[in-house]
Structure 1
Amino acid sequence: MFNRKKSESPGSLPSYDAEQHLSTQQVHRATRTRKIFSVLTAVFLFISVIFVIMVEVGQTYNRSVLRDIYFIKLDLSHIIPAAVPNSVLINSIARTLGLHDFYTVGLWGYCEGYNGDGVTNCSPPKTLYWFNPVEILQSELLAGASINLPADVNNILKLIHIVSNVMFGFYLAGACLSTVMIFIVPLSIYSRWASFAIAFFTFLAALFITVGTVIATVMFIIFRNVIRGVAEINIQATIGINMFALMWVAAAFSIFAWLVQTGLCCCCASRRDVKTGRKKGNKHAYTDTPAGETEKPKARRRFRLGKKAS
């Protein structure tokens, strides 16, 4: 099939010129390694998208899984400290005024409920949602009742509003871009130029998801510390472990996908490289026997020799 050059040794692989054409099966075998890594990139992106979707749907509906995915949980069941006389009675009165025992925050909305009953209601999903505890508490109190939160909480609300919108946009852009790239990544098998473009957009997807994760982590940790540091009220704030795990797993797999795709820009022969002769790729593509079957004839010969000797 190939014309050997005179300088070739009998045991070496046959060389070929760019003008010579390889069969389709040989090209596929030569680029098998690149295909494996391309599929691996798509798998990493798919996993990242699944976890981002879980982040997106947390707190959108009162379902067994969705209500356990939240950024932060505010517990108002003991809003009056125990050191205050008749604190138990006052807390029960606060509940009759319309306040729920706890509030959990998601990307599209929040849920509320009571310690004995669990989550009782979730807000309708809203685009560019941001958590405003002052507005929520004021809206749920009975007519004529009011609550004044300390200045430290009110000051951080402006920051939460801006950062929440940025985080929302980054997560949505990262999820959409990663989903599109799952179907485009296989094109990197054919050319390195395609790998450069795919690596760039994969980097953007990883950037959006990772930055959104960092923003959410920093913002809600600061918010938790501010709430806990207010001495006038006894609001307990806890970080949602499930949400944070989902966020960082999504970010990690998006980064893995970008690293693998970036490596394909300089490693592993593409089909265009093999056809033009720039790279040979997998050496088994240039042998008459496919990889994994080279030892079978030897085994048969050994069997026959042993049979003659007996």
Structure 2
Amino acid sequence: MGKLGRFACIFTPMVLTIGALLCLGLAFSGQLNKNSSLQNDLYFFKANLQDFTSDPDNPDIVKEANDQIDNELLQALQSQAKTNGDLKDFYQVGLFGYCSGTIDDKTKKETVEFCSPRKTGFYFDPIEVWGLNNTSVQVAFPKEMTDGLNAYRKVAKWMFAAYATALGFTAGTILVGISALFSRWGSLITTIVQTLQCLFFFGAATTSTAVYASLVGVFETVMKQYNIHSGLGKNMLIVVWFGVALSLAANLFWTISICCCSGASAHKKTVVEKTPYTYERVASPYLGASGNNSHQMHPVASGGHGTSGSAYEPFRQQHV
């Protein structure tokens, strides 16, 4: 019953930890395969250029705030959209890279046509992706946009490292958690590892939510006047924060498992009965009689040659 109780004690936190691992796996898989609808729906940030690229030669493409438009940037974007075809209708950003594609004007159906190669510590640079790095626009890019992209670039590497570390600690928790089947010490070690996993997972989720929310704010402030819009990926954030919730719950149950169900088997007490006719030590003859039985000294003649005197042998005398 001890092992069975121990198994029941760690079953819940183990299942929760595996669930957190699956959520992290989904987060890492986003924007890796253009042919997978599941992976295409998982992104942190999305830039929508459909309204801009649908008619790049239209001088009235922007209906509002015409006095704030940077004509040089507008012309460069229009040139890229018309001649080089580098501008797609949308761009979706994941942990390892981005995917881009087109949107049907009538059905509004999105089709992913390209996914960038995998890259650790990836960050989305619209200047490079949109082919503006070899133009004067790179220097004349709005300051708000430049500052926002620089901040995003610095945080992106830490964010990726936090997700990778959380993934490693999650796998480690599952492996170390096997030792929790045998003792509470195993639960203690597992809880320590899982606590680190929980901290890194929470930090990664918080950082990615904050940094991409800031990036959306920058895009909406600077690029909205060019009919370029942006938004957060709700599906990705749901997956990530659901994984954090599973991780927090797992941490609670791993902690509880330290105090419950030791895993030791119940031992039966063994009663040892004395066998009959065994030797029992008698009391010293010099202490006198006690109770109904008394021990006395009786002389025994010494036999044999070369002996003298007498000896005394104690024995138990029963009174009839």
1:264 is paired with a residue whose SS is helix
Deviation at 1:165, TM superposition (A): 0.7
Structure 1 equivalent of residue 92 of structure 2:
104
User: Quick one: structure 1 residues 274 and 159, their matched pair in 2 at CA, closer, same or farther if it must change by over 3 Å?
Assistant: farther
In 1, Cα distance between the equivalents of 2:161 and 2:251? 20
> Quick one: which amino acid aligns to residue 66 of structure 1?
Q
The structure in which a higher percent of residues are strand is 2
- Name the count of aligned residue pairs: 244
> Quick one: which amino acid aligns to residue 13 of structure 2?
T
Structure 1 residues 30-69: aligned runs within 5 Å: 30-62=2-34, 63-69=36-42
Structure 1 residues 214-293: aligned runs within 5 Å: 214-230=206-222, 232-266=225-259, 268-272=260-264
In 2, Cα distance between the equivalents of 1:262 and 1:213? 23
In 2, Cα distance between the equivalents of 1:165 and 1:275? 55
Q: Does the Cα contact within 8 Å between 1:206 and 1:254 map onto a contact in 2?
A: yes
Deviation at 1:71, TM superposition (A): 0.4
Encode CA deviations 1:270-292: one digit per residue, 9 max, x unaligned.
12496699xxxxxxxxxxxxxxx
User: Quick one: structure 1 residues 146 and 77, their matched pair in 2 at CA, closer, same or farther if it must change by over 3 Å?
Assistant: farther
Structure 1 equivalent of residue 62 of structure 2:
81
Structure 2 equivalent of residue 95 of structure 1:
81
Structure 2 portions without partners, runs of 5+: 53-60, 67-74, 105-109, 270-320
Deviation at 1:159, TM superposition (A): 1.5
The answer to which structure, 1 or 2, has the higher relative contact order (CA under 8 A, 6+ apart) is 1
TM-score, normalised by the number of residues in structure 2: 0.69
In 1, Cα distance between the equivalents of 2:268 and 2:156? 51
In 1, Cα distance between the equivalents of 2:221 and 2:266? 64
2:185 is paired with a residue whose SS is helix
Deviation at 1:53, TM superposition (A): 0.6
Structure 1 equivalent of residue 201 of structure 2:
209
Q: Does the Cα contact within 8 Å between 1:189 and 1:270 map onto a contact in 2?
A: no
Percent identity between the two aligned chains: 26
> Quick one: which amino acid aligns to residue 129 of structure 1?
F
Structure 1 equivalent of residue 284 of structure 2:
none
> Quick one: which amino acid aligns to residue 245 of structure 1?
I
Q: Which is further off, 210-219 or 230-239? A: 230-239
> Quick one: which amino acid aligns to residue 70 of structure 1?
Y
Encode CA deviations 1:198-236: one digit per residue, 9 max, x unaligned.
100000111111110010011111111121122653320
Deviation at 1:93, TM superposition (A): 5.8
Structure 2 equivalent of residue 281 of structure 1:
none
User: Quick one: structure 1 residues 276 and 104, their matched pair in 2 at CA, closer, same or farther if it must change by over 3 Å?
Assistant: farther
In 1, Cα distance between the equivalents of 2:171 and 2:15? 11
Deviation at 1:242, TM superposition (A): 0.8
Aligned: 1:133 with 2:123? no
Structure 1 portions without partners, runs of 5+: 1-28, 85-89, 278-310
Deviation at 1:67, TM superposition (A): 1.2
Alignment match of 1:192 (pick from 181, 184, 187) = 184
1:73 is paired with a residue whose SS is strand
2:63 is paired with a residue whose SS is coil
User: Quick one: structure 1 residues 194 and 61, their matched pair in 2 at CA, closer, same or farther if it must change by over 3 Å?
Assistant: same
2:51 is paired with a residue whose SS is coil
Q: Which is further off, 211-220 or 130-139? A: 130-139
Q: Does the Cα contact within 8 Å between 2:176 and 2:186 map onto a contact in 1?
A: no
Aligned: 1:179 with 2:152? no
